[in-house]
């Protein structure tokens, strides 16, 4: 597969106009004061399905043959993105969601008209998915290692830079690298001088090693609250990351939680842990960010708050 | 004291320009679908100090004699608003915060440079405050029963209607009535046809009876999670409310919690229970709101999330 380019991101942006939400860019004195930088948060937690993943999913779904059902493997935001994109384009969506399945996410996928498949053996989800593609004569859309998905994810940074062109640095969380690859393409297509840093949990540190060693270092036994970041990079994202990334910021779990809490309590935004991963380097005053104009892609806001509300509810009874 | 007018709200808006944050107006397909209305949320949770209260506090503080210290009685958002307003205008702020004091709110007031006083007897906070005003030769600023405070609170609705002039209905939560009175003045100064409804918890139903009976029905033993709404209306807010309000929506505690949860999980906004009080009538499909263009003043986002984050933190350890 050919690597996607800046022009693919631009074409994706045209395709997504009126379909994706142009999410707000939040600024806050409190965050600027705490980080000693000028920060612009691209709030993809306000995106449809609650995460940037809808951008890539729609961009890929819209370009596949119209008659074929779509198959995807995801327990999270990609599944919701594919399901909604298929509903909007009149396609059938089959989502392979291995155990342990979050019932809220499964219900959300079904609400969008998606057909949920739970493989009997979660270790076998890949071959289960391949068999399903064959059986349905379906189109397979990978969560990040797909040129159309990568180009779609890049449209978040493209929108941000359209409003704030003079950023010095862009930050985003890294899992499979779809968001970061697209962000790199968008940023450097507009301005090669923008520095792009990947933010990765110390407990799931495969992307950093993959980029260093120029091979896909598998993610084994990841230990992080940022569940969206527990995957390895792919054959398409790795070369883009190697070419474009300025570097990595590695963040500890306590930093993720502290950043999440800061954003909830001070900025009043519900964000998922992966989104907080990209805020954490600002709060610890990374020298590369001091005094800079920094854009942050807040990946999403899909987080399980049921225990919080159950407790509030019990407190009332 | 003379009642404030629409012109006072306009003057307040001029005074507050560049000082208060012009908060974003959020829309969401999910909320429109769930409510069968077209909804515009004026997000005062993004306001400085995390609540609309900063508007009224600053408008009042800025008009008091410059040499005098300011005294206010509040355990909540009004205290923070006064403290920040005094810092910005170079005044001394004395905040009487009766027990039980929320340590987070006390710390926030001190961060803004406010001096915190905790009366020995919480039942005696009023006379304690009066004594403090005398002792300091201070200026007393009431949380809602003050013409400058009311005019300041009205600027939130003024901003909302500046962007969305063709609203049919405005909703806001009611405690002492400062926000609602200001909202009424702003709305009817621009368009006498806009309907303004007060939203009140069934467990703290004094404002409805006060307006009905044209006397201040005291709020005794309020039972609601919406702590900002546990106060009685005042001598200034009551006549404004009687003149302008279309009616009341009374909401149950479960409805407040369900609305809060909807806003967190679907719209990704951190709001306080009082803010959810004004969303609840939409989610139960009040006939007066169906098919209408409805503006909602989301009062603020100051809510205690420490237990949620403590649990997340414990889950990681």
> What pLDDT was estimated at residue A103?
81
Dihedral sign, Cα of residue B279, residue B283, residue B287, residue B291? positive
Instruction: Check A50 against B270: CB less than 8 A apart.
Output: no
Contacts 24+ apart (CB under 8 A), A140-143: A140/A71, A140/A72, A141/A57, A141/A60, A141/A61, A141/A64, A141/A70, A141/A71, A141/A72, A141/A82, A142/A72, A142/A234, A143/A53, A143/A72, A143/A73, A143/A74, A143/A78, A143/A176, A143/A178, A143/A231
Average pLDDT, chain A: 95
Q: Record the pTM.
A: 0.95
The backbone torsions φ and ψ at residue A129, rounded to the nearest 5 degrees and listed phi first, read -65, -45
User: Which residue in the block uniquely carries the two structure tokens 């005019």?
Assistant: B151
Instruction: Check B225 against A316: CB less than 8 A apart.
Output: yes
Residues in A touching B309 (Cβ below 8 Å): 257, 260-261, 264
Neighbours of B111 (CB within 10 A): 12
pLDDT confidence band for B316 (50 / 70 / 90):
low
Instruction: Check A257 against B305: CB less than 8 A apart.
Output: no
Spatial distance between the Cα atoms of B316 and A29, rounded to a whole number of angstroms: 30
Is the pLDDT at A317 greater than 60, yes or no?
no
Chain B residue with the nearest C-alpha to that of A256 = B313
Instruction: Check B308 against A313: CB less than 8 A apart.
Output: no
Q: Running DSSP on this structure, what letter comes out for residue A300?
A: B
CATH architecture of B65-140: 3-Layer(aba) Sandwich (3.40)
Average pLDDT over residues B186-192: 98
Q: How many Cβ contacts (< 8 angstroms) between chains A and B? A: 75
Same-fold call for B6-51+146-298 versus B65-140: yes
The closest CB to that of B308, out of A45, A254, A308, belongs to A308
Is the pLDDT at A102 greater than 90, yes or no?
no
**What CATH number does the domain located at A6-48+147-298 have?**
3.40.50.1100
pLDDT confidence band for A314 (50 / 70 / 90):
confident
Instruction: Check B270 against A269: CB less than 8 A apart.
Output: yes
Spatial distance between the Cα atoms of B263 and A187, rounded to a whole number of angstroms: 33
B195 CA: distance to closest CA in chain A (Å) = 29
ipTM: 0.93
Chain B residue with the nearest C-alpha to that of A305 = B265
> What pLDDT was estimated at residue A140?
97
Spatial distance between the Cα atoms of B260 and B275, rounded to a whole number of angstroms: 8
Is the pLDDT at A237 greater than 70, yes or no?
yes
Neighbours of B50 (CB within 10 A): 26
> What pLDDT was estimated at residue B317?
56
Instruction: Check A45 against B307: CB less than 8 A apart.
Output: no
**What CATH number does the domain located at B6-51+146-298 have?**
3.40.50.1100
Instruction: Check B307 against A308: CB less than 8 A apart.
Output: yes
pLDDT confidence band for B132 (50 / 70 / 90):
very high
Q: Is A268 left (phi over 0), alpha (psi -120 to 50) or beta?
A: left
Average pLDDT over residues A215-219: 93
pLDDT confidence band for B313 (50 / 70 / 90):
confident
What residues contact B115, with CB distance under 8 A and at least 6 apart?
A: B92, B93, B94, B95
Average pLDDT over residues B304-317: 82
Give domain limits for chain B: 6-51+146-298, 65-140
**CB of B200 within 8 A of CB of B251?**
yes
Contacts 24+ apart (CB under 8 A), B102-111: B102/B75, B102/B76, B102/B304, B104/B304, B104/B306, B105/B75, B105/B76, B105/B79, B105/B80, B105/B302, B108/B49, B108/B80, B108/B83, B109/B79, B109/B80, B109/B83
Spatial distance between the Cα atoms of A195 and A184, rounded to a whole number of angstroms: 9
The closest CB to that of A313, out of B26, B257, B309, belongs to B257
Residues in B touching A268 (Cβ below 8 Å): 43, 45-46, 50, 269-271, 301
């Amino acid at each position: 597969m050919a690597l996607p380019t800046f022009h693919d991101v631009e074409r994706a942006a045209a395709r997504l106009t009126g379909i994706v939400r142009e999410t707000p860019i939040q600024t806050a004195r409190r965050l600027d004061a705490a980080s000693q930088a000028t920060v612009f948060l691209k709030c993809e937690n306000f995106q449809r399905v609650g995460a940037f993943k809808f951008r890539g999913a729609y961009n890929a779904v819209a370009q596949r043959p119209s008659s074929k059902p779509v198959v995807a493997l995801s327990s999270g935001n990609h599944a919701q993105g594919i399901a909604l994109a298929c509903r909007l384009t009149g396609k059938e969506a089959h989502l392979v969601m291995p155990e342990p399945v979050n019932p809220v996410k499964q219900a959300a996928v079904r609400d969008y008209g998606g057909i949920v498949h739970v493989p009997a053996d979660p270790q076998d989800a890949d071959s289960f998915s391949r068999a399903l593609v064959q059986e349905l004569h379906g189109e397979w859309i990978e969560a990040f290692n797909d040129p159309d998905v990568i180009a779609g994810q890049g449209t978040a940074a493209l929108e941000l830079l359209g409003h704030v062109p003079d950023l010095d640095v862009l930050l985003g969380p890294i899992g499979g690298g779809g968001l970061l690859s697209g962000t790199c393409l968008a940023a450097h297509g507009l301005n090669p001088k923008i520095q792009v840093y990947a933010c990765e949990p110390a407990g799931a540190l495969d992307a950093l090693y993959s980029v260093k060693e120029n091979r896909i270092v598998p993610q084994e036994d990841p230990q992080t609250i940022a569940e969206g970041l527990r995957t390895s990079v792919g054959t398409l994202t790795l070369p883009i990351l190697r070419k474009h990334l300025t570097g990595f910021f590695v963040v500890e779990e306590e930093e993720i939680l502290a950043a999440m809490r800061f954003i909830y309590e001070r900025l009043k935004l519900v964000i998922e842990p992966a989104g907080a991963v990209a805020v954490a380097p600002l709060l610890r005053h990374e020298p590369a960010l001091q005094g800079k104009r920094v854009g942050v892609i807040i990946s999403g806001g899909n987080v399980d708050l049921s225990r919080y509300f159950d407790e509030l509810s019990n407190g009332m009874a």
